[in-house]
Amino acid sequence: MPDNSINHYHRLIQELRARGFRITTPRCWTLRVLSEQSGHMTSEQVYQSLHEYDIQVDEATVYRTLQWLADNRIVTRTNLGLGADVFSLYHEPHHHLVCLNCRATIEIDDSVFADLRSDLRKAHGFVPQMDHFAIFGLCKLCQSQATDQAAD
């Protein structure tokens, strides 16, 4: 486990303890595997990872743990249109471009939403909680393929 992952993981545990939450095996290890994978995991994937560490945790418990972490804003839960929701640590907000054709996902910075955020607030008094967003469309490559096909 890389140093920064370990540190991040320990910081999270401390934070939960400080907030008065109980530290249990499923919670510890769920956070561990999420810290290692900088990416996004389905509940199923978290479950598999735990078992690779020989940590026997029930699948329902993984769901409950992830849901609980999401409720406490430790992780985000996102529907990337891939069937199951994906979960990831909620540190720096970031978002995804998902190609409808090849399913590639491009990670993008939160800053692209700065203007949109202030527009929505001004126009509708609405404060978006865009922690983790998925935008569907066509990636560069798949666009050119589409163009090629049209030219046939």
Chain contacts with its own copies (rule: CB under 8 A): 79, 81, 97, 99-100, 106, 108, 112-113, 115-116, 119-120, 123-130, 135-140, 143
How many Cβ atoms sit within 10 Å of the Cβ of residue 65?
25
Give dist(CA 26, CA 32) in Å, integer: 10
CB nearer to its own copies: give 56 or 149. Answer: 149
Would you give the distance in Å from CA 115 to the centre of its chain?
A: 23
| Partner residues linked to 92 by β-bridges | none
Q: Can residue 22 be called a binding residue for DNA (CB under 7 A)?
A: yes
Among 4, 24, 101, 144, which residue interacts with DNA (rule: CB under 7 A)?
24
Chain centroid offset of residue 139 CA? 20
**107 touches DNA by CB under 7 A:** no
Q: Which long-range contacts (CB under 8 A, 24 or more apart) does 115-124 make?
A: none
Using only C-alpha atoms, the chain has a radius of gyration, in whole angstroms, of: 18
Q: Is residue 57 a contact residue for DNA (CB under 7 A)?
A: yes
From the list DNA, its own copies, none, pick the one residue 113 interacts with, judged by a Cβ distance below 5 to 8 Å according to partner type.
its own copies
Among its own copies, DNA, none, residue 115 binds (CB under 5-8 Å by kind):
its own copies
Place of tokens 């078992």: 51
Binding site for DNA (CB under 7 A): 17, 21-27, 42-44, 56-61, 63-65, 67-68, 83-85
